[in-house]
Every structure is written in structure tokens, then in C-alpha cells.
Chain A
Amino acid sequence: MRFLFLFIFYYNNLFLFLKVPGPRSVRSSIIRLIHLVVEEGVGNADDAGLRSNLWSQAANLADILLDALKMYLDSCEENPSLFAQAKQEVQAERSAILELFLKGREFERAALLAEKYIDFGTLLTVCDQTMNEDKLNVYIDKLGDSGFTEFACKW
């Protein structure tokens, strides 16, 4: 009887994130949808082609959101204190989104997004996880002036 109770309790909570209404903003909704695509969609897809399509959709959604956040960050440049706050917020959001692709070992997609939105941490993680020194050198050449080399040394 106790086992049955525990089973019912854990089963109901397993899908709690699907049942509870989420935060009421467009940004939060897009992030929630990306999680749904990656965790439930990819997790349930039994076909490599289907999984690839879903990852592509997740990347598309991430790109749209990161583009909007970049626009916001760029507009704050002339206000140093606001820019610093916005940069922290945007970096945290961006890293959290790209982490999904890294966890799913979608390194190519993660690298494309990270390069586009200048996420040095993700680029270095991709190079590290794929043990690709050539790629690292390409990034150093391309992004060295943006502080990538310094970041890589500290990383």
C-alpha cells in the first residue's frame, strides 16, 4: 500500500512541469517550448531523422530569442550601468539555452549559435568536448580581437 502511494506520488510529479501553467511572458514561453522540444520531443523520437528535425526546431527557436536579446543588449550600450546589468542577464539566459544543446551533444548546432551570439564559454566547451584543436584555432583567429583569446587562457 505504501509502495502504491509512493508510486502514484512520483508518477504525478514526473509530469508536473507539463501540468502546471508556466510564467506568463513570451520569452518564458519560448524557453519552455525549447525544453519541451528537447526533453519530451527528442526523448520520445525513435527515429534519427525526427530527432534531427526537432533539434533543428529547438535551434530555430533559440536563434529567434537570442536575436531579440542581442538587440536589447546592443541598445543598452550607451548606458554603462544598464549595459552591465543587461549583459549579465543576457549571458545567463544564453548560456542556459546553449547548455541544452551541449547536454544533448548537439555540438555543431551549439557552436553555430555560440559563434553567432558570441558565447565564448560554449565555443570552448564544444572544442573541449569534441577535442577539436583546429576549431579552437579558427575561433582564436576569428574572435581573438573580441577577447576570445584572453577568455580561453582564463578558461
Chain B
Amino acid sequence: MSIWNELTAIGDRRGAKSSAFSLMEHAEKLRSSLALRALHTPGSTLIDAAIRRVLQERAVELSNDKLTQQDLFYRHISALGDFFPCFVDVVCETVANISGSPHDKVKQIGTAANFIIAMTNAARDYRARNIEQMDQCESTFEILPWIAVIS
């Protein structure tokens, strides 16, 4: 039986990819989400606005009083990639609307960059620590990390 070979790959809209790599990707996104959550303190207006934007783009509505926008966002971290363009849009709009104070612009940009660096470093550090496990799984598929996907 060749069922083991069938289990080594899964398909998505980009084509087939290694199961091991796919699992690694989910683990990276989990680490990246944890990094975001650690930064997501009360008053994090950029992150709050970005999360609202993500939910709008996904057409997710607050239909349950017990679930906040944060709950709706963090329960779907496999689609964490949605956060990045919304966050950068929010940062760009915020910076564009700041008038008269270059220092405030610089501060917002610096803060935003630190958020993204923390999130992507968390993913990369996890990958670096666990890459050997993935290498042990035989794979003939190319590996395109979720951070480098173009669409």
C-alpha cells in the first residue's frame, strides 16, 4: 500500500506542498500570533484598528455579545497573513494623517516596525530551532515560507 506517500503532501490553492512543511507553517503562525498577543496591550490603537480591518475584509460580524473582535481574530490564526497588509495600511493612514509633527510620525513608524519584527522573528526563530525535524521528512516539494508568499 502506498498510503504513506499520500500522507506526505497536501494541496492548497498554490498546489501541493509537503505535510511536514505545512505543519511547520502552522506552528510558526502560532508563535507569531503569541508574539502579537504579547504586544497587544490596552491602548494598542494600531493593532486594534488593524484587527477591525481584518474582520471587515473577512466580512465577519459581531453577532455574539460574548465574543469580542479580538476573540474573532485570534481564533483564526491560520490566516494570520491577513493581518500584515491591514496593519501596514493602518500605519500608512495614521502617518499620512499626522500633521505638523515629524517626531510623532517617526514614533509611529518605529513602533509599527517593532511589532512586525517581533512577529516575524518569533516565526523565524521557531523555524530555525525545528528545521531539522522537517528535514528528516522526505520531501520533493519546494518550500515557500508564508512570510515570502506573494499572494
User: Interface SS of chain B: helix, strand, loop or mixed?
Assistant: helix
- Which interface class (under 10, 10 to 19, 20 to 34, 35 or more) fits B? 35 or more
Interface hits, A13-38 → B, CB 8 Å: 15, 17-19, 21-30, 32-33, 36-37
Neighbour of A68 across the interface among B113, B116, B147, CB < 8 A: B147
Is A46 an interface residue when CB atoms closer than 8 A count as contact? Answer: yes
B116 to chain A, nearest CB (A): 6
Report whether A21 and B84 are in contact in the complex, using a CB–CB cutoff of 8 Å: no
Q: Mark B132-151, 1 if CB is under 8 A from A, else 0.
A: 00000000111111111111
User: Interface SS of chain A: helix, strand, loop or mixed?
Assistant: helix
In the docked arrangement, what's the CA distance between A29 and B141, Å? 26
Q: Give the interface segment out of A75-83, A114-122, A136-144.
A: A75-83
Report whether B102 and A44 are in contact in the complex, using a CB–CB cutoff of 8 Å: yes
Interface hits, B105-151 → A, CB 8 Å: 105-106, 109-110, 112-114, 116-117, 120-121, 124, 140-151
Report whether B148 and A69 are in contact in the complex, using a CB–CB cutoff of 8 Å: yes
Q: Which residue of A lies closest to B21 (CB)?
A: A75
